[in-house]
């Protein structure tokens, strides 16, 4: 039922886009994300995951988090470039489908760890949906800037979905019990910020998550390089300094 709600919300978003109501289309995508989170959480709690459920969930995700946000971005920002904008939209949808296919293969073979490989497609869809809401209610985006921003952001999200950057998952909380209190505090602070100013903070939260995989890998690389001991110079004859 929750997966069907996800699919229905995605189709509703597409219909809103056709009607020119981009705000409602964005909200429908966020509703689909809520259904998707509840679906995954309930399946893990009840231990009722199945191959059928996995495939059905992915098909619903392609519609709700691939086609719907891709069409929303195209109609809202990419339609002036016409064919190029359509190609950018296709790249987003295709990379989202590839991300889901990779997830399914890794899930069935046991290769998908608790951190996700690549930006999850609901996260990418959330960035697009909340950007539209942000532009409508917080900071308007000029018509000349909108296509450029749309192209860059859409292609970046497409790349992040098929990348090998690692993204944190709620499933990791079970293996990090000593951090439960910290996570609870962070969750409460984020929830308070979102409730206080949802139009702005929802975009900040989704954008921060989309960048978190890149930033974490960059941080790990930098700290790893700093932790390496410098190679000691060797004088002629093999004598070290």
In a domain, residue 239? The reply is no
CA distance 25 to 202: 15
Asked whether the predicted pLDDT for residue 240 surpasses 50, the reply is: no
Lowest mean pLDDT among 16-20, 191-195, 202-206, 223-227: 223-227
* Whether pLDDT at 48 is above 50: yes
CA angle 95, 190, 132 (to 5 degrees): 45
Checking if the pLDDT of 53 tops 90, the result is: no
CATH code, domain with 44: 1.20.120
Confidence of residue 233 (pLDDT cuts 50, 70, 90): very low
Q: How far is CA 75 from CA 16, 50, 82, 201, 203, in A?
A: 11, 36, 10, 24, 19
**Can you state the percent helix, strand and coil of the chain, rounding each to 5?**
80, 0, 20
Q: Evaluate if residue 239 carries a pLDDT over 50.
A: no
Split into its structural domains, the chain has a count of 1
Is 118 a domain residue? yes
All residues at 6 or more sequence positions from 163 whose CB lies less than 8 Å from its CB, including other chains: 118, 119, 213
Residue 241 lies in a domain: no
Q: What is the pLDDT of residue 225?
A: 64
Domain for residue 240, yes or no? Answer: no
Interval 192-207 mean pLDDT: 93
Q: What is the pTM of this model?
A: 0.86
| Contact of 24 with 16, CB cutoff 8 Å | yes
Does residue 37 sit within a domain? yes
More confident residue, 190 or 5: 5
Q: Rounded CA gap, 146 and 171, in Å?
A: 36
Please give the Cα distance from 109 to 103 (Å, whole number). Answer: 10
**Is residue 184 pLDDT above 90, yes or no?**
no
The span from the first CA to the last CA of the chain, in angstroms, equals: 70
The verdict on residue 189 lying in a domain is: yes
Query: What is the arithmetic mean of pLDDT over 50-62?
Result: 89
Mean pLDDT of 89-117: 86
Mean pLDDT across the stretch 23-52? 88
Please choose, from the candidates 94, 99, 120, 126, the residue with its C-alpha nearest in 3D space to the C-alpha of residue 27: 126
Residue ranges making up the domain that contains 202: 2-227
What's the CA gap between 149 and 143, in Å, rounded? 10
């Amino acid at each position: 039922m929750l997966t069907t709600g996800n699919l229905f919300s995605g189709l509703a978003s597409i219909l809103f886009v056709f009607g020119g109501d981009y705000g409602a289309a964005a909200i429908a995508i966020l509703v689909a994300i809520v259904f998707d989170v509840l679906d995954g959480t309930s399946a893990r709690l009840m231990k009722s995951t199945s191959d059928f459920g996995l495939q059905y969930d992915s098909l619903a995700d392609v519609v709700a988090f691939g086609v719907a946000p891709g069409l929303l971005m195209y109609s809202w920002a990419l339609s002036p470039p016409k064919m190029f904008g359509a190609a950018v939209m296709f790249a987003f949808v295709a990379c989202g489908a590839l991300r889901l296919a990779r997830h399914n293969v890794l899930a069935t073979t046991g290769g998908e760890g608790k951190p996700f490989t690549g930006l999850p497609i609901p996260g990418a869809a959330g960035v697009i949906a909340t950007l539209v809401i942000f532009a409508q209610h917080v900071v308007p985006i000029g018509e000349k800037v909108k296509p450029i921003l749309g192209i860059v952001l859409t292609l970046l999200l497409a790349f992040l979905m098929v990348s090998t950057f690692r993204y944190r998952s709620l499933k990791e909380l079970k293996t990090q019990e000593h951090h439960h209190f910290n996570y609870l505090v962070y969750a409460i602070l984020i929830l308070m910020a979102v409730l206080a100013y949802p139009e702005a903070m929802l975009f900040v939260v989704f954008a921060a998550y989309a960048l978190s995989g890149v930033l974490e890998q960059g941080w790990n690389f930098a700290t790893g390089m700093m932790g390496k001991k410098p190679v000691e110079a060797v004088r002629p004859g093999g004598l070290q300094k």
